[in-house]
Amino acid sequence: MSEDIRKQLTLPDLNQVGFVVRDMTQALALYEPLFGPFSVMNPGSMSYDYRGKQEECVLRLAFGKSGDVEIELIQWMSGGCPHKEFLDAGREGMHHLRFIVDDLDKQVKAADALGYEVIWGKRWGEGLAVAYLERSDDPLVLEFFENHAG
């Protein structure tokens, strides 16, 4: 699999880099001098398909920018999700790369052929869906986001 995965999946330019952090206040103090101000959100409980079953989770989120790339900070608060799994494995820091895709199902199928598996996702409606994908022996998650609503 030494070929360019991005080319094989015909992925657009990177849209977001997501970091999982243990403490949002400390992370903001660390990253705002690098990326500028962040907007912090507390969206409350969210339900996603996580490893084949519905799970509720609460995340605290912060969004900044580096040029055209969004920087997302994610603090796990409660529930089952890939972010808790990442922290439980003793990791903190860069977690995922997001790409905006036209057809999530088509993109997931293409990634599956390269060894990626959907571990977390949700479809809110026609043209609005997200999926996190992982492959064995790779701690970096890919996020595909379909958003035809704008």
- Give φ, ψ of 106 to 5 degrees: -65, -40
In the prediction, which pLDDT does 6 show?
83
Q: Measured between alpha carbons, how far is 62 from 109 in angstroms, rounded to an integer?
A: 30
**Entry pTM:** 0.93
In the prediction, which pLDDT does 4 show?
85
In the prediction, which pLDDT does 2 show?
47
Token couple for 16: 């977001």
Query: How confident is the model over 69-80, as pLDDT tens digits?
Result: 999 999 999 999
- Give φ, ψ of 115 to 5 degrees: 95, 5
DSSP helix/strand/coil, 117: strand
Q: Measured between alpha carbons, how far is 35 from 25 in angstroms, rounded to an integer?
A: 15
Domain 5-147 part of CATH 3.10.180.10:
yes
Low-confidence ranges of the chain (pLDDT < 50): 1-2
Q: Measured between alpha carbons, how far is 14 from 108 in angstroms, rounded to an integer?
A: 16
Instruction: Break the chain into its structural domains and give their ranges.
Output: 5-147
